[in-house]
Structure 1
Amino acid sequence: MKTFFKILAILLVILALAVVILPYAFKGKIISLAKQEINKQVVAQVDFTDLNFSLIRSFPNFRLSIENLSVVGKNEFQGDTLAFIPGTHLIFNIIDVFRGNYIISKISLDEPRISIWTKSDGKANYDIMMPDSIGTVPQEVPDGSNNFSIHLKKFSIVDGQLTYLDDESKIYLTMKEINHTLHGDLGASRTTLFTQTSCTDLTLQYEESTYLNHVNLRYQSNLDADLDNGIYTFGKNELTINKLKLNFEGSVSMMNEGINLVLTYNAPSTAFNELLSLVPETYLKDYEGLETTGMFSLNGDVKGIYTDESYPSFSLNLAVQNGTVKYPDLPGKITNIGITSSITSPGGILDLVVIDVQGMHIEMGNNPLDLRLKLTTPISDPEIDCTLKAQMDLATVKDYYPIDNTDLLKGTIVADITLKGKLSAIENQQYEQFLAMGSLVLQNMEYSSPAFKNPVVISQAQLNFSPQYIDLVTFGLKTGKSDLQASGKLENYLAYYLKDETLTGTMTVKSNFFNLDDVMDTSTSVDEITTAPTQETGTPASADTSARVPEIPGNIHFVINSTFNHLKYDSLDMSQVTGKILISDKKLWLEDLKMQISGGSMNVSGSYAALTPRTAQTSLLLKLNSLDIPTAFKQFALLRTYLPLAEKATGKFSGSVDFTTSLDAGLMPVYETLNGKGWLSANDLKVTGMNTLVKAAELLHYEELANLTLEKVLVEFKFVDGKLIVDPFDMKYQGIKGTLQGWTAFDGKIGYEMLVEIPRKKLGSDANQLLDNLVGEANKLGANFSIGDNIPFALVIGGTLENPTVSVGPGNGSAKETVKETVKEVINQEIDKVKENLKVEAQKLIEDADKQASALIGEAEKQAAALQQQAEEAKTRLMDEAKKQGDKLIAEGKKNGMLGEMAAKKASATVMSEAEKQGQNGIQEANKQADAIVNTAKASAAKIKADARKKADGM
């Protein structure tokens, strides 16, 4: 027995050690397999910070935890995070691991953040499999080389978040605080799957409509799963959306040709308040406190095969009877709420869907609303049958629906509209085949709210409906002292609503006086916004971090012809404003908007477009004509920001400014993105008391520089990333000539340089005596120059707009020292000029000597060549003469027989040899004479060059 307990103790120790050691023994192999599976053939950046193994928390199984798993897109989705999961936990059976098989039985995801995005071109960020890995036939692999598999028995999500954005289908879905649990044996042939899912915040948008807005969702069900055949049959289940409960019956089957759906659903409860729970809080305030009565029914079915090309049949039926809604603190009750509606389709294509609202009725006291709508063939050729009748006394709304106690609303709305026919009749201009008639009339409406400075009064507005267009017959608005009248037409409105085509329209807007401050909150002025950059970036800060820039719809084309006799906005005061405003292609365009402003006139053209929900971009071209500088300085923040000298200036200016800049969520310029160019011109420009000129005048002891009157100034400039860069421009004033250039940054820093020439007579006797002495000393050195009538100075302006610095010339000394330094500079410049002239003369002397030497050598070489030529020709003549004599001797010798001929040939050879010798001697003598001529010439040329360099060095 003692032996048994010893053996048992040893086994327990071994088991305990195994629990601690085994995870580390297998860690390397499991990490390798995990990374292999995660990264296998994926076009994405998959990463995680750590892998942890444990037997203790999951004994007798392995627990693999992956920390901070992320999947980040590549290529067109570069930097887009598809998934980030702080904790991913996988459970492996320990026996299978010992056998070399890695079978996952459980998966748990902690706080996963999933973002799915499909672009308008159909490309999706979740499509991360490599192209060559899709549809390939698996290759046979050796046993044990890939023993990784998933046989799930539990899957769970804790506090997840899902974002689904489909630009192609225009669907936007968000789900927050997702908790999900799935139990079952997915490795078996048949099993029962138990699921529980909850989401505290779900929003679903389609196109421009929000169908579910921050709803609470819960779902639990039992599914009988035939995993071998792919058939899932609903058991007990319940879906809850806010207070609305739905039950499902039927099955879902996975088939080769698609998904076979046989489902029915219904709402088991009939209490009207459950249906109202789906209405967003924006429209139905204080849901929990509502007093409601009435009944409703909701049911439907889905039957048939779903594929990429075909849809199953489906139906949805909704009815409300005797519904009432009352807010406990209000006297009125909304009564007689009734709805009979359905959405049906026989299946196949969506063009067979029929939307039928047989009737909808609501009463708010004596204010009824009735709607009937039927829509068929919505895709190919929408056919609509609709009537709307409504009458509303706006003053009674507060009795039925809670509005702010500080708001005031009154007036009447009467609508009676009938639309019946096919859209194709309008497209084919067969207007007689489409019935569209009726009107919507608004009379004596008045609305006041703290959001508006003054009450808004619409005396009358009327819209008339016809097949071709909606006619805005009249529209009259007043607020404060402002008035506005408008009329126009909206065309293609049915195709816009039914087929998302372009809505076109023309409108005429007129006003005698309109002050935008009357309808806008101006607690923050334009001046404060445009001239108060942040210290960190120099960019105006937007107060509302949740603000979004206005977005222009992409499927409208409006032309607005506007005339404002007098238009005001904050510091801007404009009159005779006329021009065209175009809204099209997600942009707003200003086309040659003319106005009188700042004592002159201005034409404005440009555009505005939203780039992202929080950023926009604007481009403007301003053409300015004869604007009064003091008035413009008060009205245009751009002048105060970049051209502060305008504050001390009088006169008129003209010009052109063309720039582009991004705008933040508060529609304020992002100065770092400001780029453009322009020019400004002014006549009789007077600048008085400008601090930089005053400081310069003090430094130079020249008071007249503090107050300038410039006859004509032309300034060209550009904006580069928010910095104003002024090109050099000339100025003249009472004999003073100047050139100014530099820059002003959006954060207020400046850097300018002004070059001025001041007449000597303006500098006084002391300065002129100093000049004469310095010039005299310089001329003693042989400079031989005069200082001239004008003295140049350089004014260097730096620092900031609020605290500029000014220095004169190279230093910051007195005027006397500045003059002295300036004259020394001029003297040095003159000496440099003399040196340069002497250098040029010396170089010319050397070059002339080189030419003379080259000519001398060239002539000698020519004479030498002539001598050599003559010697060659003399030799040739001697040889020719010797040959003649030899030939003659041979001829005479032949007469005396063979011996005589032989003697003659020998004598001829002797004559030729002697002639050759004499000719060669002549050539050698000629070469000697030629060499002597060339050498003599070279020696003379060298002397000429040496004499020239010696003379040049002495200059």
Structure 2
Amino acid sequence: MDKESEKPKSQSKMKKWIKRLFFIFGGFFLVLILLGILIPIIFKKDIKAKIDEEIAKSVNAHVYFDIDKFGLSMFSNFPNITVSMEDFGVVGKDKFKGDTLTAVKEFEVEVDVWSVLFSDKIQVRGIYLDSPKIYAKVLKDGTANWDIMKADTTQKDEKKPEKDKSDTTQTNFNVGIKRWKIKNADIVYADAATPMYASITKLTHKGSGNFTQAVFDLKTKTTVDKIDFGYENVRYVENKSIDVDLTLNMDMEKNKFTFKQNAIKINEFVFKFDGFVQMVGNDINMDIKYAAKENEFKNILSLVPGVYTEMEEFQKMKTEGKFAFDGFVKGTYNEKKYPAFGLNFKVSDALFQYPDLPTSVNNINIDVSVGNKTSDLEKTVVDLKKLHLDLGRNPIDAKARVEGLSNFKIDANVVAKLNLADLSKMFPMPDIIVRGLFGLNATAKGVYNASSMPNLAAKLTLTNGYAKSKEFPEALDKLTLDASVTNTTGDYKDSEVHVKDLSWTLDNKPFSVKANVVNFADITYDAQMKGVIDLAKVTHIYPLEGMSLAGIIRADITTAGKMSYIDKEQYDKLPTSGEIDISKFSFVSKEDLPQGFKITEAITKFTPKTITLEKFHGFAGKSDIHATGTISNYIPYVFKGHTIKGNVVFKSRRFVVDEWMDSTEGETGKAGSTTVTTTTTTSEGSSTTVSDEVTLVTVPKNIDFVLNSQIDEVEYEDLEIKNIKGKIIVKDGRVLLNGLKFNMLEGGFTMSGAYDTYDVTHPKYDFKMNINRLSIGKAHSSFSVVKKLIPMAQNITGFLSTNLKVSGGLSQYMTPLLDNSLNGFGSIKLTQTQVKGSGMLKNLSMVTGIQELKELNIAGVNIQTEIKNGKMTYQPFDLKVGNYNLNVRGSNDVDGTLNFKVDIDAPKGKIGQSATTAISRLAGVNFDKSDRVNVKLGITGPVNDPKIKVIGSSVQDQVKKVVDDKIEEGKDKAKEVLADAQKRADAIMAEARQKVDAAKAEARKKLDEAKKQADAEYNKFVAAKLNEVQNPLLKAAAKKVAEKAGTKIKQKAYSRAEHEFQKQLQLSNKIIEAAETRRKKVLEEANQKVDNINKKK
């Protein structure tokens, strides 16, 4: 009975504990839920500030997000925590300013709640992305917009300990993802360096798999509405849709991945994989088979470019026939071996017919295989056993077998007879009309490599050809082609190409070409070209992407020769004669020549030695150009890259320089113009702010031109340069000016000298200038060199005339280097000049008490100057201001620091009390009986607020001896103080210079190494491009193209290297600045002691 009575009591206690536990855990989860709701609200400013701080530390890009759309939730994936953010993205800086790298509508991360509460490692269980937009971009110089992470400089010089692979405490996150999803993504990859382009539109992807397990199934589902891919301006994949359903068995311990259920669909073509891929050390072992899952011909037809445009229209197409597609990859892949592989593709008795068109493409039979049963790629065989189709009543037959990938063993034949008018009965061509009888019969058998060719026999004909587009009214009529290619021995020397007739009529204007090329071992050619070409009409028939071309060309040219004559430079054996007349020519290229180039009229005549430019009128961008003259050595220039020579009379009414300055705008593409402000520091530490928009204009070394120039007006930045006359010589990588005259900034210039880029790593200039009546104010506002070398010019109005010789180095941004390379000398004459608002004159007037010194009117003053190692020095010159006589000499640095001495001879009563007191203390006498006094002043410091110091005086003879005696008394002690101070000051600067010299040497070493690397990359790039071209006919042209592209890449690398070099020098400059501050302080303290000594005396 007692036991039975105790039972309800124990049950009652149990219920109470359960109830308590329920409240405890319920309250706990309620607190978590409340925290998840309140934390983002209460601490959102702190959270955003912390995120911004971390982004600024590590990311060189603008990251935008709205903290109000940051959230924590326990409900979305209960019981796990979901962290979400909406509407965030990353936008580029500098060269990629305005380019959006990525923009995401919504981003969610699912985190395991128990790992947050009870583990030191947070486990990520799911990721969700909604509508991400990704734009990956590479410029021509190889710079990528996703390279936005800042370098970690915190442990730059410290050797970081290696992580223990078994240590799992290195990170606070454990990415044990079980599911993920990407919805509605758009991805664009644009690589201008390759060039390559890829676009993926509306990608949706989801997957699941437990990555915390050793063996699991990875299930993914991917759909893409549209994918495009192009390489080197050729579109290889266009408007293809993709649907992938794939399950992989993932054995993470063995690194083995096995295909299970899967289907891959491209447009309507569906295929599958079986087998596995396994990574063992450096090897990848694989045994994969693949095959089509369906065999209707219509499925494979959907892959043909232009056929599959819209699903609805494609389904209306009539098709018959079957196809088979299968293959395998089996073996080991590593650096030395390739797996065996095979691919088989067959089409049997197929046809297709567009709806609403009367004729079908019939009897389509294809049997092709590609295979290699070894690990040697050279033993690959491509075997087209059969290709036949009937385009209505026009049969096409081909077969080909090619063995090898470098020594091509070829056995091929193709025969085609085609009435072009029948094409419109089989293919939708509503806007195009074509007619003519086309024939092709070609056979090739033998080996093709660098030393041999297959036996060839090919005949290509077109008669009564006609082509017309609805978009353009004129037809290409009377198209005729009769050409043949033969080789009977397999030797290059026995190859022959004969173009008996290539002719057409466009808008009643005939054009014809005849040519013969024989002996490919020593290419021997003769050709004739005669007729009229309307380029605008040609481009309507054959559009040029990204370019606009128009103009009328009338040509009558005959040429002949041998490649060996060119190699031996026997150009007199290359008879070339005739005439080319050009009118209404215009060319615009969005990428290479956006400014455009026009020729309104041109007449040129050719001989083997010269091109005579009888008449040339046109426009380069906004600039009109007119020229006559001769050009010689053009054949060696074209074929061998030798120097081309010319003597040309060049005229222009208005030439706009700004639009031709090389900038990053062409490389930022859609982003528009980008200006990057950069501080370029000279080798001695001085700096100048430049724009990355303008880079060095390199003068080609293989051009030798004399331009007898007459230009009425040149526009460059904010300058107007007028009435340019003189000789401009372009030679050996330099632009030489010979007595060039022009007007600018209200002054007349006569200029000789050189702009020199022969050594592109160290460009320089050397000019001699005679300038008459130049506006000083305008010169100061227009030229950085004037601002740096003559800082006082900011307060001077009026005119100067000068004979000046100046030379120095240039940065890779075409700005003068204000360092020890800057040197020169000359004279400056000031006329009708007023100095007003000068901080120096204001302080000078304040110290001396002479009000007349606040403003100066100067006329007829000649100043001899010298520029040495970047410092401007002025020889003594005299000024008369009212009843005052001034003698001035001194110097200023490029940073605006003045160091001048001024002697003022003035009536004693005109000197202010402070100056009189200072002079009396120095002299130790009273000047009441003196009529005039000569005040000696020192002017040091920045130009806007220099320090004025009385450093001595002389009176009339009656006080001179007293002054001398007083000075002599304190002389020894003052000397001792000054000598000690100078010794300490010199030691400070010596130590600083030692550190700076070491830093400069290291920076120079890195610069040289970077340039050597750039040179090596240039040579590698050119060699690689030449290796891609096997045809000797194309080698010379390919070399010029490769060298031009390589030079651009190398110059960009030089610019980056020098920019980094200048940055390092700027850091070393701070050492000098700090030392200079200490040096000045030591000397100032010593001078103060000397002043005290003099006061006591």
**Which TM bucket (shorter chain)?**
0.5 to 0.7
Distance 1:719 1:464, change over 3 A: farther
Q: Distance in 2 between matches of 1:356 and 1:722?
A: 67
Residue in 2 that maps onto 1:89: 108
Residue in 2 that maps onto 1:155: 180
Q: 1:455 aligns with which of 457, 475, 494?
A: 475
Contact 2:307 2:314 in 1 (8 A): no
Q: Distance in 2 between matches of 1:271 and 1:210?
A: 27
The superposition leaves residues 805-859 of structure 1 with CA deviations (integer Å, 9 ceiling, x where unpaired) of: xxxxx9xxxxxxxxxxxxxx9xxxxx9899x99989x999x9xxxxxxxxxxxxx
Residue in 1 that maps onto 2:78: 59
The superposition leaves residues 241-263 of structure 1 with CA deviations (integer Å, 9 ceiling, x where unpaired) of: 00011022122223223222211
2:404 is equivalent to residue 377 of structure 1: yes
2:478 is equivalent to residue 465 of structure 1: no
Q: 2:428 aligns with which of 398, 402, 407?
A: 402
Q: Which moved more, 1:296-305 or 1:56-65?
A: 56-65
In the TM superposition, 1:525-924 aligns within 5 A as 547=546, 563=578, 566-569=581-584, 574=601, 576-578=603-605, 592=611, 594-596=613-615, 602=628, 717-720=713-716, 725-727=721-723
Instruction: Provide the secondary structure at the position in 2 that maps to 1:56.
Output: strand
Residue in 1 that maps onto 2:344: 317
Instruction: Provide the secondary structure at the position in 2 that maps to 1:323.
Output: strand
Deviation at 1:520, TM superposition (A): 6.0
Q: Distance in 2 between matches of 1:621 and 1:289?
A: 64
Contact 1:453 1:520 in 2 (8 A): no
Q: Distance in 2 between matches of 1:226 and 1:56?
A: 33
Contact 1:513 1:565 in 2 (8 A): no
Q: Distance in 2 between matches of 1:413 and 1:259?
A: 50
The superposition leaves residues 611-667 of structure 1 with CA deviations (integer Å, 9 ceiling, x where unpaired) of: xxxxxxxxx99987699xxxxxxxxxx85x779xxxxxxxxxxxx9x978899999x
Contact 2:223 2:244 in 1 (8 A): yes
2:35 is equivalent to residue 21 of structure 1: yes
Q: Distance in 1 between matches of 2:233 and 2:575?
A: 24
Q: Distance in 2 between matches of 1:226 and 1:168?
A: 39
Distance 1:625 1:54, change over 3 A: same
Residue in 2 that maps onto 1:852: none
Distance 1:77 1:349, change over 3 A: farther
* Aligned AA (2:476): V
The superposition leaves residues 560-584 of structure 1 with CA deviations (integer Å, 9 ceiling, x where unpaired) of: 9795565432796647544599xxx
Residue in 2 that maps onto 1:807: none
Residue in 1 that maps onto 2:1092: none
Contact 2:301 2:307 in 1 (8 A): no
Contact 2:200 2:227 in 1 (8 A): yes
Contact 2:339 2:375 in 1 (8 A): yes
Q: 1:440 aligns with which of 451, 460, 467?
A: 460
Q: Distance in 1 between matches of 2:538 and 2:415?
A: 31
Residue in 2 that maps onto 1:204: 229
* Aligned AA (2:396): L
Deviation at 1:360, TM superposition (A): 1.0
Distance 1:454 1:603, change over 3 A: farther
Residue in 1 that maps onto 2:279: 254
Q: Which moved more, 1:251-260 or 1:90-99?
A: 251-260
Q: Distance in 1 between matches of 2:188 and 2:523?
A: 34
Contact 1:48 1:66 in 2 (8 A): no
The superposition leaves residues 252-306 of structure 1 with CA deviations (integer Å, 9 ceiling, x where unpaired) of: 2232232222111111211111111001227989533321111111111111223
The superposition leaves residues 688-733 of structure 1 with CA deviations (integer Å, 9 ceiling, x where unpaired) of: xxxxxxxxxxxxxxxxxxxxxxxxxx65654525976313789xxx
Q: Distance in 2 between matches of 1:299 and 1:521?
A: 43
The superposition leaves residues 485-525 of structure 1 with CA deviations (integer Å, 9 ceiling, x where unpaired) of: 223468999x9xxxxxxx99978563344444654679xxx
Deviation at 1:384, TM superposition (A): 2.4
Contact 1:156 1:180 in 2 (8 A): yes
Residue in 2 that maps onto 1:276: 301
Deviation at 1:366, TM superposition (A): 2.5
TM-score (norm 1): 0.55
Deviation at 1:60, TM superposition (A): 1.3
Percentage of matched positions with identical amino acids:
21
Q: Distance in 2 between matches of 1:454 and 1:625?
A: 39
Residue in 2 that maps onto 1:242: 267
Q: Distance in 1 between matches of 2:142 and 2:725?
A: 55
Q: 1:390 aligns with which of 382, 402, 416?
A: 416
Distance 1:37 1:183, change over 3 A: farther
The superposition leaves residues 304-361 of structure 1 with CA deviations (integer Å, 9 ceiling, x where unpaired) of: 2233443222111111111112122222221111111011122524333222211211
Query: What 5-or-longer segments of structure 1 have no aligned partner?
Result: 496-502, 523-543, 551-556, 582-589, 607-619, 628-637, 644-655, 683-713, 731-739, 744-750, 756-793, 795-809, 811-824, 826-830, 847-936, 943-955
Q: Which moved more, 1:201-210 or 1:504-513?
A: 504-513
Q: Distance in 2 between matches of 1:350 and 1:14?
A: 66
* Aligned AA (2:433): L
Residue in 2 that maps onto 1:356: 383
2:534 is equivalent to residue 477 of structure 1: no
Residue in 2 that maps onto 1:869: none
Q: 2:244 aligns with which of 210, 215, 219?
A: 219
Deviation at 1:42, TM superposition (A): 7.9
* Aligned AA (1:235): K
Distance 1:516 1:138, change over 3 A: closer
Contact 1:515 1:569 in 2 (8 A): no
Residue in 1 that maps onto 2:366: 339
Distance 1:113 1:458, change over 3 A: same
Contact 1:659 1:676 in 2 (8 A): no
Deviation at 1:216, TM superposition (A): 0.5
Residue in 1 that maps onto 2:325: 298
Distance 1:275 1:124, change over 3 A: same
Distance 1:86 1:154, change over 3 A: same
The superposition leaves residues 107-135 of structure 1 with CA deviations (integer Å, 9 ceiling, x where unpaired) of: 22233344567899999887879899999
* Aligned AA (2:456): A
Q: Which moved more, 1:334-343 or 1:19-28?
A: 19-28
Contact 1:164 1:172 in 2 (8 A): yes
* Aligned AA (1:17): V
Q: Distance in 2 between matches of 1:142 and 1:109?
A: 31
Distance 1:278 1:516, change over 3 A: closer
TM-score (norm 2): 0.48
Question: Over the residues paired in the alignment, what is the CA RMSD in angstroms?
Answer: 6.2
> Which of these two proteins has the greater Rg computed from alpha carbons?
1
Q: Distance in 1 between matches of 2:614 and 2:161?
A: 69
Deviation at 1:374, TM superposition (A): 2.0
Q: Distance in 2 between matches of 1:837 and 1:69?
A: 68
Q: Distance in 2 between matches of 1:459 and 1:293?
A: 36
Contact 2:297 2:322 in 1 (8 A): yes
Q: Distance in 1 between matches of 2:724 and 2:223?
A: 69
Instruction: Provide the secondary structure at the position in 2 that maps to 1:395.
Output: helix
Q: Distance in 2 between matches of 1:505 and 1:113?
A: 56
Residue in 2 that maps onto 1:870: none
* Aligned AA (2:185): G
Instruction: Provide the secondary structure at the position in 2 that maps to 1:399.
Output: helix
